[in-house]
Amino acid sequence: MNYQFVLNPDLQNVPAEVRLLLIWAHSHHIYSIFVSLGVDSDWLLNTFKQNINPPTRLFEHETNFENNILHIRHVNTQLLITYGLTYLLQNYQVSLPTSLRQDVINFVTIKHEDVLLPNPFLIGNPTRAENPLSSFLGQDLSQQLQELMGENSTLFDYANKKSLALATIQNVKGNSSNISSWIELFAIVGTLKVEDDVSDELAQVLQSINYLRLFEDSIELGEKAIHIASLQLPFIKDSTVPRYLKEQVIELAEFLATRYPDKVFGSLPDQEKEKISRLAGVLLEVALNISKKEETPEERAFNLQVLGIEIAKRWKLFGTITRPVVQYICEIVPPSQAKHLWKLLVFMRAADESNSYVLVGLK
C-alpha cells in the first residue's frame, strides 16, 4: 500500500500524516474484506510478504513522513497489540480479572534470571516521534501501563530505556566480536531519533571498531556489524562517522576480493554462492546508507555512485552480483538521481564484459 501511495501523483502534496492515515485505513479495509471471506491470516501474511515492492524514494527523506509514529518502520506486531490493548483497556485496567491482568503483563515483559524486563520489541521512545494526529501509538507506555502494572510500569520509562541504550552501546565497544552485541544494539536503539548524548556515544563507539578485523574473524560477524553500524547513521550528527565507515567499506572490498576471487565463483557450491551474493547485497545497502548522509537527493545518488565504483574496482564480484539491482534503481528514481547511477551501472557492465565467465556461476 505504501508503495502504491507513493506512486500516486495526486497524493504527493497531501500532508504526510494524512497520507499515512490513508495507508492504514486502506490496508485495514482490504484486510477486512479478506477476513470476511474467510481467508486464513497466515496465508495473507505469507502472500503479502512475497509481494513487497521496493521503495521508490531511496534518496529522499521527508522528516514528517519517515519520522511519523504511523510510519510502518516504527511499528511491529508486539507494539501494535500492546498499544491497542492499553488503548482499549484505559478505563478498565483496575477492574480486570487478575488472570487477565497477568496475561497482559506476561505479554509486555520477559523474565531473565528472575529479573523482569520489558519485551525487546517494546523498547524505544515513541514520544520522540512525529505525532501530529495524537495517535495512541505515540503515547508514553509507562503511563499507559501504570494502573495495570503498578511500580513495574517504570520499566518502560524513557530514562530506563536511555540507560539501557547507553549500556548497550558500551557493550558493543567492549564486545564487538560478539554478534549478539550488534543485534542487541539494533534492537534497543531502534528506529527513532535519540538524544544528543546517546548519539555522541554511539558515534564514538562506531568509529572505534575495526570492521576489517571482524570480517577476518568471521564473515557473518563482519557482515552484521558493518550493516548494523550503517543503519545507525540517521541518529548520528558527527560527519566523521560516515567517512570512517566509507574507508572501512573500501578496505573490506579489497579483503573480499582476496577471499572470494571472481575467477573461482562459478565453481563454488550453490550455498556458498548464495552467501556471497547476500554479502554483496549488504555491502550495496551499506554504501546506500552512507550516501544518505549527504544534504540533497542528487548528492546522495552521486555519493553512492562514487562509493559503488570504488567497491567494484576492488571486488569485481560486487559489480557482477549487484548490477541488476543498480539497474532497477536507475529505472525507478528521478532522472536527476539516475544520471549518477547510470555511470555506476556502465562501470559494472564494462567490468562484466571483461569477466563474462563469472556470469556462468550466477545462472
Cell numbers placing 182: 550488534
Length of the chain equals 363
Q: According to the model, what pLDDT value does residue 119 have?
A: 84
d(CA 293, CA 239): 8
d(CA 294, CA 60): 11
pLDDT tens readout for residues 242-256: 999 999 999 999 999
141 pLDDT more than 50: yes
Least confident of 16-20, 198-202, 208-212, 282-286: 16-20
Least confident of 34-43, 190-199, 240-249, 277-286: 190-199
- What does 161-225 look like in DSSP terms, one character per residue? HHHHHHHHHHHHHH-TT-HHHHHHHHHHH-SS---HHHHHHHHHHHTT--HHHHHHH-HHHHHHH
Least confident of 46-50, 140-144, 262-266, 354-358: 354-358
Give bridge partners of residue 116 from the DSSP assignment.
Answer: 111
Q: Between 261 and 53, whose confidence is greater?
A: 261
The b/e string for 337-351 (b: 16+ C-beta within 10 A; e otherwise) is beebbeebbebbeeb
d(CA 104, CA 118): 12
Given a contact cutoff of 8 angstroms between Cβ atoms, the answer to whether 282 and 229 are in contact is no
Of 27, 99, 16, residue with least CA distance to 60? 16
Q: 256: Cβ–Cβ under 8 A, 6 or more apart, which residues?
A: 215, 279, 283, 315, 317, 318
pLDDT tens readout for residues 298-350: 999 999 999 999 999 999 999 999 999 999 999 888 899 999 999 999 999 88
Instruction: Fill in the amino acid letter for 97.
Output: P
Dihedral of the CA atoms 280, 284, 286, 289 (nearest 10)?
A: -170
Domain limits, the chain:
79-156, 158-235, 239-363
Q: According to the model, what pLDDT value does residue 265 have?
A: 81
Q: Provide the mean pLDDT of the chain.
A: 85
